[in-house]
Each structure stands twice: as C-alpha cells, then as structure tokens.
Structure 1
Amino acid sequence: MPPLPGAEPFHHRGGPIGVLLCHGFTGSPQGLRPWAEHLAAAGLTVSLPLLPGHGTRWQDLQVTRWEDWYAEVSRELLLLAEECERVFVFGLSMGGALTLRLAADHPDLVAGVVLVNPSVRSDNPATALLPVLRHLLPSLPGISGDIALPGATELGYDRIPLHAAWSLAKLWRTVQQALPQVGQPVLLLRSPQDHVVSPANSALVRARISSVDVTERLCERSYHVATLDHDAELIFEESLGFVRRLTGVTQGTEATDQRG
C-alpha cells in the first residue's frame, strides 16, 4: 500500500556530512520533515525513511516487528556511510531508541546522536500484560498528536496495534542492554510537558550511556512531538550546531532530492 500523502520518505543529496532521521512509533516522516528540510537547506545529505508498517493504516503495522523497523534504518545508515565522510543519527521517540541501537551497533559509522524525547522504557504498567492482551484485543487508542502549538498536526495512527506494541517493548529491552556501548557525542532535547514519554526515559539514557560529550536542552513550550511544536526551531538550530561543532563544516553543497 502506498504511503498516505505527506508520509513519504525524504532523501536529499548534499555535502559530505550525512544525517539519518528516525521517526516514532505509529508516526511517519511527516513528523520530522521540517527538520529534514532544514538540514538539507544547510547543505547536509539527509535520509528520512518511512519505517515498515507506518504511514498507511494501523493494520499494516500490526504485522511488523522491531527487527523490521531496525533493518530499515540500518540499511539507510549503510547507504549514507557509503556516500558521506561522517554520518549522524537523529531520532524522535521510538526513533530515539532506534538511534541509540544504531550507535551501539555501529560505533565506527555513527559520529554523533541527537535525541528528541527518546522512548526507551515502558511508562505504563499494562505493558507487562501485552504478551496476553495482544491476543485478546487488536488495538488501543493512539498516542499521536501530542503537540502544544495550535493548528499543528501529526500524521500518525489513531490506534496502537498491540502485536507491534509488544514488539516495541522488546526493542526497549535490547536498547537498554546496549546503552553502555553508546560512546558518541549526544545532544538530548527533552520536553518537560510530554504526555507520551516520561522524564524517566531521558534519565535512563543519561545514566547508562558511556558518552562523555552529552548536552541536554529543554523544549519548555512543547509537548511530545517537539519537532512540530513551538520549539521546533530550537531543535533545528541546536542539532545543526551540534553537527557543525563536531565536524567543523559550516556549509555544504546544495543539491536536489535524489531518492524517495
């Protein structure tokens, strides 16, 4: 099934520095598209893939697992590494979990990490019931659209498929185990008023990663999907500054979209 209008992946070939962006669970590239376009306009090479089962209908997500989502971002990372001198990985929510797993698995390929309200643990006691509940109920009400900015909307599912949610919980466990292997520079952007992911998630990341170069910024006026919220520009500028600080590259080469 083709993606919904607005949920398409985004790819831009720019300069020698690449950025891979990972969207969240039940979300789509639309939630990160302005961020990707900002980075592309600055001359970076950018990849924003659509994760399997996302961007169409929630029933399509029901038949996918975390290994499918991770395989997609892994493939994109390898493609970027072939054409770029250095590659950074950015992620929102579950995309943050995928980002951390990539950083742990590919320390030679991932130069730095930017996390926006990363989701790496369960904030709901009912998660323990998912192994059984997923066989009794197909879905529960969705979590998309947690945005403070009036008029801003997220293109995401209005239902959470429970087979996929069960797999997400398995992803969290693998990421928690891998956090000590993350040693790259990290920029962590967190919304104090997040109705989807608790502050315990960012605290867990900070406590377990091995990175020495860690910067945390608060998105004071935004909710969970901060990339579409009041603090979007803060995220865009801080992340671009992070890349420029670590690479010394202040400007890239303009180019047009090549894929997707």
Structure 2
Amino acid sequence: MNHSAEFQFEGGRDGVLLIHGLTGTPTEMRMVGKGLNRAGFTVVGVQLAGHCGSEDDLLATTWEDWYASVEAAANDLRGRVDRVFVAGLSMGALLALRLAAVRPGWIDGVGVYGATFRYDGWSIGWTGRLSFLLPIFKRLGIGRQRSFIEQPPYGIRDERLRAQVSAAMFAGDSEAAGLPGNPWHALAEMVKLSRDVRRRLPDVLAPCFIAHAADDDVASVANADLVARRVRGPIEMLLLADSYHMITIDRERRTLIERSADFFGRIARDARPVRIAA
C-alpha cells in the first residue's frame, strides 16, 4: 500500500518543487522544504510513483512513471505561483534536470543536489559499479527478487542521524526512510534514466545550482562535473566538505538551504517585471 508522504508549504509567488531519490521518500527533502518556505517560497515535495510502499510497488513502475510524477506536480505548482524552481537529490537531481530540459518554459532555475549518473562513490562495491549491465538483466528477466542492500555509512556523515535513519529503514518504515535496498530492476530503470538525461543536458538552459559532497560515498564529484560541463545555462557550484551523499539532511544542510534560497531568490528578483506608475 502506498501512503502519501508528499508535503506542501504555502508561501509567496515563487515556488520550489523538491524531488527525492530512488527508493527514497519526500521526508529526505522536508528540511530543505521548510528552510525554503521560511525564506518565502511556496514549496511542494513530490512523492514519486511506486515509492513509500513495498518493493513490489516500486518494481511495478518505470523511470517514465517517476518522471510523470514530477511533471504532474510541476504543472500543478505552475497554476499557483509566478515562477517555478525545481531541485532534486541523487536520482531526483536527474529528474529535475530532465524537467528543465523537456519543459524549458516552465522552469526558472534548477537545484542539482548530489546528482547520480553513476554509482561510483567510495562506499560502492564492484556490484554497484556494474549497474550498467542491469537493463540487460531486466530485459532477460534475471534478478527480479535481487537487491543491492544499502551499506554503511548510508550517505550520512553525521553518526547520530545515520543511526536513526538506518534503524527506520531496516525496521520497514519505507515512508520515513525508504527501502533498505535498491532492487536490481529499479536500478535498471535508473540506468536508463541516466542515459536519457545525459543526452539531454545541453537542452538545460535554466540557471543551475550544483551542490555535491566533496567526499560523496555514493556518487563521486565527477557526476557534478558532468552537469557543469554539459548544461548550457549559467551554473554555480557548491562543494560540501563535511557531508556524505544525503546533503539535504546531513551536517551542512543549513548551508545548502541558505545557498539554494539565495540562488533562487536572485533569479526571482532579476526576473521581476518593473512596475510602471500610471
């Protein structure tokens, strides 16, 4: 059964759509959402199709379904605000970039947090590095019941927070902490999404705020560099020295929130129409 962990915080006429990662939940974006809302933004945290339920729920969906969740949420938000910004973590960053590439008229700026095109961080074993083979396995029907079980440090440098998140994850609270493993067939969809978005990066014309942990355990900084090289909009980079992959909840989340609010706020101010007195 899929519960909804989506959240909405009403604010001003500038909106931010926040997108969680693969097997994750909107909860991992909630603190960023609250911070951006305090800075005056209307914020929506979308729940991707197939997430926050069982492994079977996730396996019943494809990357196209996940992207459709994003586009529907963005379209809804557009009806309520003057400008829409989009930001995502990990796979969510890829979905955010895809939205900006496919719907350039909708999106005024992109937050690219811990973008994951390849699982090439220091905690990823050889099995994760062979994930490019998974679409072939899925097509052949191999490994439907197999998962890569998450390994310490679970993307979190803060040890106290890591203990809380891993306890919830392995207790089966998928709505709060996501699934404890990445099913092979879901990862196969992620690989296909990654290939699609990589091709589309030159179509991203909106300004991009690219934030990444310098010591990311899941996806190396090469993923952030790929975005910086390929997109055609202006970019700003932030490398975080005291976090791992989950930068939206780890030790430097306040820095991430402040820099994101400042980045989106500057775009919104620059785009304001000048009111001519009658």
TM exceeding 0.5: yes
CA deviations on 1:143-194 (whole Å, 9 max, x unpaired) are 4831001221441211211111111111011101110000111111110111
CA radius of gyration, larger in: 2
Instruction: Say which of 249, 252, 274 aligns to 1:231.
Output: 252
Q: Quick check: 2:10–2:43 contact (8 Å CA) kept in 1? A: yes
Q: Quick check: 1:119–1:201 contact (8 Å CA) kept in 2? A: yes
Instruction: Say which of 127, 130, 134 aligns to 2:131.
Output: 127
Q: Quick check: 2:89–2:114 contact (8 Å CA) kept in 1? A: yes
What SS does the aligned partner of 1:141 have?
A: strand
Q: How does 1:70-219 map to 2 (within 5 A)?
A: 70-121=67-118, 123=120, 124-134=128-138, 135-137=141-143, 138-143=145-150, 145-153=154-162, 154=165, 155-211=177-233, 213-219=234-240
Q: Quick check: 2:2–2:50 contact (8 Å CA) kept in 1? A: no
Q: Quick check: 1:52–1:72 contact (8 Å CA) kept in 2? A: yes
CA deviations on 1:19-39 (whole Å, 9 max, x unpaired) are 000100111111111111111
Extract unaligned runs of 5+ from structure 1. Answer: 250-260
Query: Residues 173, 122 of structure 1: CA spacing in aligned structure 2 closer, same or farther, 3 A cutoff?
Result: farther
Q: Structure 2: which amino acid aligns with 1:167?
A: E
Per-residue deviation at 1:132? 4.2
What RMSD in Å do the two structures reach over aligned CA positions? 1.7
CA distance in 2, matches of 1:234, 1:208: 25
The count of residues paired between Structure 1 and Structure 2 equals 245
Extract unaligned runs of 5+ from structure 2. Answer: 121-127, 166-176, 271-278
1:221 aligns with 2:242: yes
CA distance in 2, matches of 1:180, 1:128: 22
Corresponding residue for residue 51 of structure 2: 54
Instruction: Say which of 32, 57, 81 aligns to 2:29.
Output: 32
CA distance in 1, matches of 2:199, 2:55: 29
CA distance in 2, matches of 1:59, 1:148: 30
Query: Residues 84, 222 of structure 1: CA spacing in aligned structure 2 closer, same or farther, 3 A cutoff?
Result: same
CA distance in 1, matches of 2:55, 2:217: 21
**Range that drifts further, 125-134 or 49-58:** 125-134
Per-residue deviation at 1:59? 2.5
What SS does the aligned partner of 1:227 have?
A: coil
CA deviations on 1:32-72 (whole Å, 9 max, x unpaired) are 11111111222211110111111122232111100111000
Per-residue deviation at 1:125? 4.0
Q: Structure 2: which amino acid aligns with 1:149?
A: D
What SS does the aligned partner of 1:228 have?
A: coil
What SS does the aligned partner of 1:226 have?
A: coil
Instruction: Say which of 49, 66, 69 aligns to 2:66.
Output: 69
